[in-house]
Amino acid sequence: MSNRVVLREIGLRDGMQLVRTDLPTAHKIEWIEEAVFAGVTEIEVTSFVPAKTFPIFADAAHVAAAAIAMPALTASALAVNLRGAKDAFAAGLKKVGYVVSASEAHSLANVRRTTDEAIGEFKRIVDHRAEIGLTDQISLSCGIATAFGCTLQGDVPRHRVHEIAGKLVELGADEIMVADTVGYANPSQVEDILGECIERFPGVSITGHFHDTRGLGLANVAAAVRVGVRGFDGSLGGLGGCPYAPGATGNVNFEDMAFMLRAMGFETGINLDRLMALRRKIGAWLPEERFTGAILRAGLPSTFPIS
């Protein structure tokens, strides 16, 4: 099994959904450039959503254009429906993400669709990719939100997650991103659910997306990498997360995750000193945000290999 992990930075998408301060397009592009300079190979750079509802993403096409000009980078964006996916394809992105929710209650509350209806929309995105002849050029990632439980519905049956993943793979998903949207996952559950995904869908990238709401984010990453997961989402400074979970902290902290996996002997390709220089810049750009993370404060162990 490969020793290489792909860490996808999602602060510019998931993080931006919640920030109090607007971030100028030039800073977003600098964020991407500096992350690539630090060795980050995949970034979810923006979200294709209605600009009226999310003015922070009004520059989506502009940010995407800057990102796809960087050869070392896999730039992706989130599309919440076929319309967004069409815009993302038109912007030239070679990777696009979409999300369905394993919890019916969460799906209805979030996008006013049942889970099966949301899967139907993914089929339309896949079909559109084929119609425009880009099936081989564009990679589609489909996330499964609330895969480890839901604040509204409670337990989400494990077989339901694998059933949904199976449908998405059959439709043509190149990556399945399994998300602990509300921070309910624990390491044993992660090993069970993601271990089965790895076994059942051998040709498909399986990515773990964890929230640190209850402090278990990195423990869940360590559990997932143990059963063979080699792709992880995280955001610099832990920006973002679910806006509807009270008191919730957000995504797994990207720099701490990069530190942990490198310390565990995995190849991340990331230079942590450069990454932390970017992290400090982001802190200065967004002075009103609450950031998380231990490694920026404590520093690397003296025994740590720098790059």
Give the footprint of a copy of itself on this chain (CB under 8 A). Answer: 149, 151, 154-155, 182-184, 186-189, 212-216, 218-219, 221-223, 226, 245, 247-249, 253, 256, 259-260, 263-265, 293-295, 297-299, 301-303
Taking residue 236's Cβ as centre, other Cβ atoms within 10 Å add up to 31
Which residue, 197 or 296, has its beta carbon nearer to a copy of itself?
A: 296
CB 257, min distance to a copy of itself, A: 9
Taking residue 258's Cβ as centre, other Cβ atoms within 10 Å add up to 28
142 belongs to the catalytic site: no
C-alpha pair distances (Å), 276 with each of 16, 27, 31, 73: 19, 16, 12, 19
- Which tokens sit at 243? 């806006």
Q: In whole angstroms, what is the distance from residue 288 CA to residue 213 CA?
A: 20
CB 249, min distance to a copy of itself, A: 7
**C-alpha angle with apex 102: 47 to 75, nearest 5 degrees?**
25
Which residue, 53 or 303, has its beta carbon nearer to a copy of itself?
A: 303
CA dihedral 284, 64, 259, 202 (to 10 degrees): 160
Backbone angles phi, psi at 263, to 5 degrees: -65, -30
CB 300, min distance to a copy of itself, A: 8
Which residue, 107 or 141, has its beta carbon nearer to a copy of itself?
A: 107
Which residue, 120 or 299, has its beta carbon nearer to a copy of itself?
A: 299
Which residue, 92 or 269, has its beta carbon nearer to a copy of itself?
A: 269
48, 95 contact by CB (below 8 A): no
CB 282, min distance to a copy of itself, A: 18
CB 247, min distance to a copy of itself, A: 5
**Which residues form the catalytic set?**
242
